[in-house]
Chain A
Amino acid sequence: MNAAESFNLRLIPLLPFLGATILILFGRRMKRGTVVAIAAGAIAAAAFLAFTAFFQYLPETAEHGGLRDVVWKWIEAGNLSIDLAFRMDALSGLLCLIITFIGFLIHLYAAGYMEHDPDYARFFAYLNLFCGSMLVLVLGDSMPVMFVGWEGVGLCSYLLIGFWYTETANASAGKKAFITNRIGDFGFLIGMFLLFQATGTLRFSEIGALATTGSALAAPYWLGMPMAFWVGLFLFIGATGKSAQLPLYVWLPDAMAGPTPVSALIHAATMVTAGVYMVARLHTLYMLAPVVLAIVAIVGAATAMFAAIIGFAQNDFKKVLAYSTVSQLGFMFVGVGTGNFTSGVFHLYTHAFFKAGLFLCAGSIMHAMSGSGDITKMGGLRKRTPWTHAVFLVCWLAICGVPIFSGFFSKDAIVAGAFATDIYPESLKWVGPLVGTMLLLAALGTSFYMSRLYFLVFTGPSRADHETQHHIHESPSIMVGPLVVLAIGAGLGGLVGVPGGLFGHPEWNVLGEWLSHSVGPEMEVPHNTEMLFMGISTALALGGIFLAQAFYGGGYREPAKKFAAAVPGLVKLAQDKFRVDELYNAVIIRPLRVLSQALFQFVDRVLIDQLLVGGAAAVTDVLGRISRALQAGDGQRYMAAFAIGAAALVFFATRPTLPSELKVNVSGTTVTVDASRTGRQSARGLTYAFDFDDDGRAEVTGTSPEARYTYERGGEHTIRVTVTDPRWHTESHIKSKVELGGQN
């Protein structure tokens, strides 16, 4: 216990960060070998630690929530208390293994792939940075720490997509990824805030405990839906951004502008799965609101189908794989959306292997084809790149869902779970079968387009030009090695998750057993349903392969050409990705641009620059000018100022004093006026003239400031008092109105 408790989980993300720092600071001056050694070494060390933690220490503490490592107190503000802490339970442990292991393989691959690139060190620094951030995301003990990782991987994604930033297209792709992610992150933040409002805590362990039917999370919040619904919904919006679901998937295909290892690691195996991880992590929360899970499932299924259709018509190797990733992520979301969290994570795990393998094969092929990814110009590579072909074959069969290969088990778990789920309320019972059917169709589509890819690239005569054909060669062993390892994983990895219902041996489902401590027990699927859907998906998989063979076996065959001729519009639409990007551009981006231009022109240029900044400067200028005028070196002007000052002094000193208001006392029609002023000398020989009806004739004059007068009639009268200083011969006046009650 002791060793387990004191295990330094923090080292797992720290080592890659350290590697990144060293490479950023000193990488330029290092030799290539050193760079790889540091980068891959950091990941390898992190992998070693992760494996140790997972296999040695975790089983002991699994029931107690896993290993925990608190680094320091991060925020203490009122009710909010967040530590920088890491936690490894089965779920995060599994993902750590995936990230570090596949990350390590990809580092090795990239060592060969990026051989000729001048920015070698920067690449590996970013890769390490990414791995560190992803590990923070996965190991985070509370939502803010996870969010730090979330943002970190977003940043690294941006940096790595736009790695070759000198090409504007690449930089734009990076921007697109980051900005689209940001939109999702806004949703994530809102969800986080709502969660805090409802539960007062952001730690996963505490949220899990609080997510019971009686808690604030289950209480209705808005529109009659419980708080858990809204939290889940907003968090899911963040997930659609990060995991490229409808409507925020648009960045992933563009992200293929980055180097292939990046696509493999970030956009296949790890970053894009963060959304699935998040939902699985908060499974107790989501289970409180089945409606939002239904939404998750429907969005996932729709995305799976949509992306598959687009994948039919793409002609760039990596783009096909990108849409495939979007589609497969949809599968994962259906898995978690039907309450079958184990299957979603299972598919995440198998997908990581075969998709990374597929992407690395893509890199290998592009390497062979002198950098081009255009499949219309490929063909016949089976013989020219045998190792790559072998790996691709395994991964292809895995993704199609051919039995025994890993994808079969995970996909089937999801589909069967969709039909067998019981988490939905009565009104939404139809969601399960609906998404299941959609997934079957999507699986058929997956099989078809992946087979299309296989046949067009590896079979038949080569359609490339002579020059390129000449250069086709197999990749170096440093690239092939990881490929083989991934193929093994893709092929056999599924065997850890053989569903219990299949052969009647539940204990064979090691994965489910592991994950049950984190995401709840595996869904119980009746044996018959299980067998049924295994059969159906196998049939669909093989059907897709044969269909593709008919269309594309050995090149573009007659059926393909006839089909393309028959519905050219549909083909074009799919090729253009259903013009979603153009739609977004017109509806969102252009108005924003117009608005920002308007703001710039008016608010920035006029209001701020001219009025405020310029105005401030102008005020200073004017004041300066005025002050300057006072001292012009002109002696005569100084003398004049002298005289003016003296005159002003005399003027103010000789004014006779009158108060600002006369004190008027009324009794009947007799008025007593007092024009004295307190605080100033009044004994100065001043002469007062009181004019009680403002007719120019003073009724009372004298040296006393007080006077009394009786009016003949009542009503309103105006009293004017004039005081004269006989010595300076200066006067002051004051007028006052007085109301009298009428008498006479």
Chain B
Amino acid sequence: MQGQANAASMGDLLSPLGSGEGIVFLLLSIGIVAMALFCMTRRNPVTAVMSLVATFFGLAGIYAMLSAHFLAVLQVLVYAGAIMVLFIFVVMILNREETTLISLRGLPTRVLGVAAGVYLLLVFTRIAIPATVASPAPIPETFGTVASIGNVLFRDFVFPFEAISVLLLVAVVGGVTVSRSHRKEKDAEEAAEKRLAIEHLASHDYPEPAEHLDNADAHAAGGHH
């Protein structure tokens, strides 16, 4: 019985894809998913950041489809524009390539975690099926415009708005504090260098001296499993 109901609604479910809106959505979502996958599977952090930016652009398009104009723009300006730029800065400072893609420490637990996450979301999605399969009702023109959202923000959400301003302040201060240069930093750097050198000596595949001087970082990374 359930199976029959599902079969019937599957057909209903997929039919709107045929419309223009549906095609746009399909294209955009394929792009988004592709870019997201791309991002998560890159070894090169710069490539990853760029593909994430692409993802965000695609998402902005989706938001526009959802009549969330303001947020679409915000997504591009703040997320893709500011946050990702921040990421780029850091990536530029710390640019190291990975040799192995996935962490092998405790892999079973992690994979199980991912599977658990999939299961959770599957359950949630299935819950939502009955409520969400219908096309939503039409909405007024002013939906999602700056004016109406501003109204909501400054009337119903004024406290969270202010709170989040404080949060941003805290974040700024915190960021500065955390990344302050300490006197001990130099010692830590030297200690870390020494540690790397020792581990390097202790590793099985001891490289040739010439190579060692050449590309110390790559071999230090490769010396461990």
Residues of chain A at the chain B interface (Cβ within 8 Å):
629, 632, 634, 636-637, 639-644, 646-648, 650-651, 654, 687, 689, 701, 724, 726-729
Q: Which residues of B contact A632 (CB under 8 A)?
A: 105-106
| Residues of B1-25 contacting chain A, CB below 8 A | 1-2
Partner of B113 from A644, A654, A728 at Cβ < 8 Å? A644
Which of B110, B117, B120 is close to A636, meaning CB atoms less than 8 Å apart? B110
Cα-based distance from A637 to B1 in the complex (angstroms): 41
B126 touches A640 (CB 8 A): no
Q: B132-166 vs A: 1/0 string, CB under 8 Å?
A: 00000000000000000000000000000000000
User: 0/1 per residue, B100-133, Cβ < 8 Å to A?
Assistant: 0001011001101110110110010011000000
Docked-complex contact A646 and B116, CB < 8 angstroms: yes
Known: A701-B1, A726-B2, A728-B126. A640 touches B110 (CB 8 A): yes
Query: Interface centre among A641, A644, A701, by most B CB within 10 Å?
Result: A644
Q: Are A629 and B106 in contact (CB under 8 A)?
A: yes
Known contacts: A632-B105, A634-B106. The answer to whether A644 contacts B126 by CB under 8 A is no
In the assembled complex, the CB of B203 is this many whole angstroms from the nearest CB of chain A, namely 21
**Which 10 pairs of residues, A with B, have the shortest CB-CB distance?**
A640-B113, A647-B116, A643-B116, A644-B116, A643-B113, A637-B106, A643-B117, A729-B126, A640-B110, A647-B119
**Apart from A643-B117, A647-B116, what 19 extra A-B contacts exist at CB < 8 Å?**
A632-B106, A637-B105, A637-B109, A637-B110, A639-B113, A640-B106, A640-B109, A641-B109, A641-B113, A643-B114, A644-B113, A646-B116, A648-B116, A654-B123, A687-B1, A689-B1, A727-B127, A728-B123, A728-B126
A701 to B3, CA, bound (A): 14
Main secondary structure of the interface of A (DSSP, over half): helix
By a CB distance below 8 angstroms, the chain B residues around A727 are 127
A643 with B127: in contact, given A634-B106, A637-B109 (CB under 8 Å)?
no
Contact A646 B123 (CB under 8 A): no
CB closest residue in chain B, given A653: B123
Smallest distance from the beta carbon of A726 to chain B beta carbons, Å?
Answer: 7
Query: How many Å lie between the Cα of A634 and that of B112 in the bound state?
Result: 15
Q: How far is the CA of A639 from the CA of B116 in the complex (A)?
A: 11
Is A644 in contact with B112, judged by CB distance below 8 angstroms?
Answer: yes
Task: List 7 contacting pairs A-B, 8 Å CB cutoff, sorted by A.
Answer: A637-B110, A643-B117, A654-B123, A701-B1, A724-B2, A728-B123, A728-B126
Q: Bound state CA distance, A689 and B126, in angstroms?
A: 21
- CB nearest to B118 among chain A residues: A647
In the complex, which of the residues A643, A644, A650 contacts B123, with contact meaning CB atoms closer than 8 Å?
A: A650
In the bound complex, residues from chain B placing their C-beta under 8 Å from that of A648 are 116
Which chain B residues lie closer than 8 Å to A726 at the CB level?
2
| Interface of B toward A, CB cutoff 8 Å | 1-2, 103, 105-106, 109-110, 112-114, 116-117, 119-120, 123, 126-127
- Whole-angstrom distance between the Cβ of B110 and the nearest chain A Cβ: 5
A271 to B127, CA, bound (A): 97
Report A266 CB to chain B, min CB distance, Å.
70
**Measured between alpha carbons, how far is A589 from B55 in the docked complex, in Å?**
89
Residues in B whose Cβ lies below 8 Å from that of A640:
106, 109-110, 112-114, 116
Q: Give the distance in Å from the alpha carbon of A650 to the alpha carbon of B120 in the complex.
A: 7
Residue ID in chain A nearest B113 by CB atoms: A640
List chain A residues, Cβ under 8 A from B116.
640, 643-644, 646-648
Instruction: Pick from A646, A689, A724, A729: contact of B120, CB below 8 A.
Output: A646
CA distance A186 to B9 in the complex (A): 93
Measured between beta carbons, the chain B residues less than 8 angstroms from A637 are 105-106, 109-110, 113
**In whole Å, how far is A656's beta carbon from the nearest beta carbon of chain B?**
13
CB distance from A723 to the nearest CB of B (A): 12
Roughly how many angstroms separate A69 CA and B68 CA in the complex, as a whole number? 111
In whole angstroms, how far apart are the Cα atoms of A647 and B122 in the complex?
Answer: 10
User: Once the chains bind, are A643 and B109 in contact (CB under 8 Å)?
Assistant: no
Known A-B contacts A637-B105, A647-B117, A701-B1; the reply to A728 vs B127 at CB < 8 A is yes
Residue of A nearest to B122 (CB): A729
Within the complex, the shortest CB–CB distance from A463 to chain B, in Å, comes to 81
Report the separation of the CA atoms of residues A639 and B110 in the bound assembly, to the nearest whole angstrom: 8
How close is B6's CB to chain A, nearest CB, in angstroms? 9
A442 to B137, CA, bound (A): 131
**A731 nearest CB neighbor, chain B only:** B2
Q: How far, in whole Å, are A641 and B103 apart by their CA atoms in the complex?
A: 16
Q: Is there an interface contact between B2 and A651, defined as CB atoms closer than 8 Å? A: no
Residues on the B chain within 8 Å of A642, using CB? 113
Chain A residues whose C-beta falls within 8 Å of the C-beta of B119 in the assembled complex: 647, 650-651
Chain A residue nearest to B126 in the complex (CB) = A729
Which of A642, A643, A724 is packed against the most chain B CB atoms within 10 Å? Answer: A643
Minimum Cβ distance to chain A for residue B122 (Å): 9
Residues of B within 8 A of A646 (CB): 116, 120
Cβ of A643: which chain B residues have Cβ within 8 Å of it?
113-114, 116-117, 120
CB proximity of A213 to chain B, nearest CB, Å:
86
Which partner residue on chain A sits nearest B1 by CB separation? A701
Kindly provide the distance from the CB of B30 to the nearest chain A CB, expressed in whole angstroms: 27
In Å, the complex CA distance between A689 and B4 comes to 15
Contact across chains for B103 and A636 when beta carbons are under 8 A apart: yes
Q: Which residues from B are CB-within-8-Å of A654?
A: 123
Query: What residues of chain A lie closer than 8 Å to B120, measured between beta carbons?
Result: 643, 646-647, 650
CA–CA, A662 and B103, complex, Å: 48
User: Which residue of chain B is the closest to A639 with respect to CB atoms?
Assistant: B113
A643 and B123 CA atoms in complex are apart in Å by 13
What residues of chain A lie closer than 8 Å to B113, measured between beta carbons? 637, 639-644
Contacts of B114 in A (CB 8 A): 640, 643
Give Cα distance in the complex from A687 to B112, angstroms: 31
The listed residue (B2, B105, B123, B127) touching A634 by CB distance below 8 A is: B105
Q: With A and B bound together, what is the CA distance between A121 and B179 in angstroms?
A: 81
User: Chain B's nearest CB lies how many Å from the CB of A16?
Assistant: 72
Instruction: Give the chain A neighbours of B109 by CB distance below 8 A.
Output: 637, 640-641, 644
Taking CB atoms, residues of chain A closer than 8 Å to B1 are: 687, 689, 701
